[in-house]
Each structure stands twice: as C-alpha cells, then as structure tokens.
C-alpha cells in the first residue's frame, strides 16, 4: 500500500498545522515531551503507550484542553510495538480517528536493562526483550510508516537512538547493539525511500533526566555524568523534543539519513592552537561533504570535539551538500541523493538558524550532515 501523495502547507506560526503524527512510547519521558511539542507546533497527535493508560489519558486531556479546535487534536492508542498486528492497528486507528493519512512517525518506545549487566552476564531473555522493543519495534513501525505516510513532501520517520552507540559504555551491550541496528536501518531506508518525499533520521540523545535514565544508577553515577557535560547539566526531555520538532518540519527536509546526536561531546586530542584557530564564541563551521578543504574540520566535529564549560560556548559543524563546482566531469550530483535533488543554500540556512537559537543549546559539539542523505 503506497502512501498518499499530498503536501500540507504550513503556516508561519504553526509549522506542523494540519499534519498527523504518531509518537510511540509517548506516555512519559522523551516521548511525552515530543508529543507535547509537536502538538504545540500545530500537529494532531496519536499518543501510543504499552501499559500506562493513566499517564497517556492525562496527556491527551492536557493537549486537547490547551487548543481551541472543535475536534480533539490528540488521542491515546494502546499497542505493543513489537507485535506487527498491533502496529498495524495503531496506524489504522490513527487514520480512522482523524480521517487523514499520517505524515510523521516518531518512534520513542524503548527499554534499557537497569541491571547494566556485562554481555557475558546478559540473559537471553533480557537480550530478546531489548531487541524486541528497541529494534524489532523500530523496524515494524518504520515499515508500516514507509508504506503509509503521506508522500510528495512532509513525510518524516524519526527514530530515537542513543549516544551510547558511539560511547561503547560497559553494561550497555544489548542496549547499544539494539540501537546501532536502528541507526543502520534508518540510513538504508532513507535511500530506499528516494523520491517519496519521506525523510528518515535518528536522534541520539546523551544522558537525559528521565525515569529510564535514572533506573539502576547511583547518585554518584548521575553526578559524574552531569559533571561530564560541557553545559554543566543533564539533558531534559524538552531539549530533545525541540530537535525532533525541527526535523519534523519543512526546514529540516535536507537532513536525511542522519543521526543527530544531541549530547555532551567527548574529549579529542586537539592542541590549544588548533582549537583557537577554528573555534570562537557561537561559531558554526560550514564545510562540504566532498571537494572542500573544510572536510577535515567537519570530520573532527563528527568525532565530537570537546567543548569546555566556559561562557556558554557551543560549537557545531554543518557538513552540507555537494557543491556544483565540486562535481567530477559528467556528474550530475543528484543520483545518489535520497532526496533526489541537489541542495540549495536555502536548505542549509534554516539548520544554521536552528543551531543559533538559545532553545537548542543541547546540540553541542556535533557535525550535522545537511546533505539530503548523501553518504
């Protein structure tokens, strides 16, 4: 079943007005914050939950009483996202309740073993539970979305991953492996959906103050992770929700097949002279993925620069699309791109604007590929 080809025009004040969103794992934590933020941007929202009906119903009530529309703008739908039949019913009910095709999937549902066992001590049951929810769930929801989302523009599949994939922390073996599979799947699916107007991205948060994060951690561990952040604090669900909101809108269209990593960056072996040469307060480096002398800067940033806790400084790189003058002889430059066209300056500018705002300070030390999915 192919998705419907149509594009809802956004208003200047409500960039997601008229668009329909499914958010899995939305009764609490990051998923709850995302659902609320997308609703504030004008979206109609299906709140998926697995067991906590009280929290889901409360959120739906809050969202519906906060708007002036005659019809409900949020519903709660119970579904086990590791069950293909229930995933289908989740999409079916959302379309039926709102009499509309779905535009956006945000997959937040996930589990983490609070015992943090070494791989050698991980039970098969715990491994299977982690992969059933984190990986199989992402697969089933993404598969359903790829076949049912609106086409022609505005279609978004956004999967929540984790910075643990890159951190390789002990005790997170099953969790990191399950999310690494999701990131790989997203990059491949973005290519497979070329020409559909649907983008596929992951958001990989670092430590965020949620029930999932605190489970099984000592106060000492929490304090250590907080102190390691250049911003001097843990992330909040709202930090992540604003990033998802940007990706869900039209301005985020040229970010495709990416993993946006809003977390504190790790320490790189960088001399003070090199650091001072490249960085200044509030700088965003613009470099090309190919053919530019700025490549080395972008790649280092993608490996996570260390950013000291001074003056509220943030540093990010924008690795943008192949420039026309960078083409090889006879190369058109758009055949490999999942978005199906060469980028324009206007595709990059909104991302820089997004990074420049105070509301998005949790994106820090990152190389963001604004390249339509070129790999």
The catalytic site residues sit at 175
β-strand partners of 367: 317
Which residue reads 């004008």 in tokens? Answer: 42
C-alpha separations of 211 from 57, 77, 164, 217, 268 in Å = 19, 21, 17, 11, 31
Answer whether 245's CB lies under 8 Å from 201's CB: no
Of the candidates 246, 106, 257, 249, which has an alpha carbon nearest to the alpha carbon of residue 193? Answer: 257
Question: How far, in Å, CA of 212 to CA of 30, rounded?
Answer: 10
Answer whether 45's CB lies under 8 Å from 63's CB: yes
C-alpha separations of 247 from 178, 242, 292, 321 in Å = 23, 9, 26, 17
Instruction: Give the angle 251-254-259 at the CA atoms, nearest 5°.
Output: 105
Question: How far, in Å, CA of 300 to CA of 317, rounded?
Answer: 9
β-strand partners of 284: 316
3-state DSSP call for residue 192? helix
Answer whether 336's CB lies under 8 Å from 342's CB: no
Which residue reads 């492996």 in tokens? Answer: 177
3-state DSSP call for residue 121? helix
Of the candidates 161, 154, 155, 156, which has an alpha carbon nearest to the alpha carbon of residue 138? Answer: 161
3-state DSSP call for residue 13? coil
β-strand partners of 285: 317
């Amino acid at each position: 079943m192919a998705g419907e080809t149509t594009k809802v025009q956004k208003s200047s004040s409500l960039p997601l007005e008229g668009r329909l969103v499914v958010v899995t794992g939305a009764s609490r934590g990051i998923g709850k914050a995302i659902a609320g933020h997308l609703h504030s941007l004008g979206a109609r929202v299906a709140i998926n939950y697995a067991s906590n009906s009280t929290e889901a119903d409360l959120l739906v009530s809050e969202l519906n009483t906060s708007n002036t529309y005659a019809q409900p703008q949020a519903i709660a739908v119970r579904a086990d996202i590791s069950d293909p039949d229930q995933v289908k019913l989740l999409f079916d009910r959302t379309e039926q309740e709102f009499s509309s095709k779905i535009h956006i999937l945000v997959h937040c549902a996930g589990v983490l073993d609070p015992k943090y066992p070494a791989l050698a001590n991980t039970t098969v049951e715990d491994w299977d539970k982690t992969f059933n929810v984190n990986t199989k769930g992402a697969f089933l929801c993404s598969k359903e979305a790829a076949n049912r989302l609106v086409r022609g523009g505005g279609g978004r599949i956004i999967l929540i991953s984790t910075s643990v994939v890159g951190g390789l922390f002990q005790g997170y073996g099953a969790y990191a492996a399950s999310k690494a599979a999701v990131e790989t799947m997203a990059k491949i699916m973005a290519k497979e959906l070329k020409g559909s107007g649907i983008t596929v991205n992951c958001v990989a948060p670092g430590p965020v103050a949620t029930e999932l994060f605190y489970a099984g951690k000592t106060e000492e561990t929490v304090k250590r992770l907080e102190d390691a952040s250049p911003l001097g604090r843990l992330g909040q669900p709202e930090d992540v929700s604003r990033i998802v909101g940007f990706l869900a809108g039209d301005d985020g269209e040229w970010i495709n097949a990416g993993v946006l990593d809003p977390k504190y960056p790790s320490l790189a072996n960088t001399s003070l002279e090199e650091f001072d040469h490249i960085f200044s307060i509030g700088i965003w480096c613009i470099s090309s993925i190919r053919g530019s002398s700025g490549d080395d800067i972008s790649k280092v940033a993608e490996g996570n620069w260390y950013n000291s806790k001074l003056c509220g400084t943030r540093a990010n790189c924008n690795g943008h699309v192949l420039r026309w003058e960078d083409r090889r002889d006879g190369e058109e430059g758009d055949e490999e791109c999942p978005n199906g066209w060469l980028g324009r300056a206007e595709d990059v500018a909104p991302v820089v604007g997004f990074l420049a705002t105070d509301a998005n300070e949790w994106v820090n030390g990152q190389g963001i590929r604004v390249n339509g999915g070129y790999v």
